[in-house]
Structure 1
């Protein structure tokens, strides 16, 4: 846990956020976040990681790997799974609102388009295998 604690603290500091800022942006309690950063709690589950990733400007996959939920040599995700993870990242980013008010069924192609627009608007690469 100490490795994850230091990693998550560095991510927060890199964004120049206080623990209270992160708590406010994610809805995760200040005390729980503090305990994670101090190494007194296990890394949070994937649901909390989904809320932390956009605030810390990292991918969900990066957080899951740092927490030990994913192994480096784990089989690759399918293209559809990569798009779904990237799309969830975009939808959970509190600073980004373009294209997030869609209704009806969203196909993988529509989700990919929204992610690509996010990548262009933010300069953050979420989908692998393409140059920026």
Structure 2
């Protein structure tokens, strides 16, 4: 098994490493994510590219943030707030668990700020 610092660049390998770290089988993840076992296997082997919806389902099943999964899949750029998530995802010194924790903490803070001050969020988006 690859160590967190040796994570492959492709989304399939990233999903496989997360699944193995979580110690769940391919079949268990497929069931939790609502996709077929063969389809998930093809994603992990790099034969199929999952849609954003499937990535969201897999992220939820693995209990990782959807933006982190989207960043890894190249569906988000590293502009603005995503720069923080991209930096976390790209840091080779962090383990997968550390990346997940930091991403979840960051998103919790942003969500709390948005709930407490929706006017500020709107004005920042208009810049």
Give the TM-score normalised by structure 1.
0.55
In the other structure, the counterpart of 2:65 is 59
Shift of 1:55: 1.6
In the other structure, the counterpart of 1:6 is 13
Aligned length: 82
In the other structure, the counterpart of 1:86 is none
1:47 maps to which of 19, 34, 53: 53
Shift of 1:2: 5.7
Contact 2:33 2:57 in 1 (8 A): yes
Contact 1:2 1:38 in 2 (8 A): no
- Cα RMSD (Å) of the superposition? 2.2
In the other structure, the counterpart of 1:33 is 40
Unpaired segments ≥5 residues, structure 1: 78-123
The runs of at least 4 aligned residues of structure 1 exceeding 6 Å deviation read none
What is the alpha-carbon distance in structure 1 between the residues aligned to residue 10 and residue 30 of structure 2?
A: 21
Shift of 1:9: 0.5
In the other structure, the counterpart of 2:4 is none
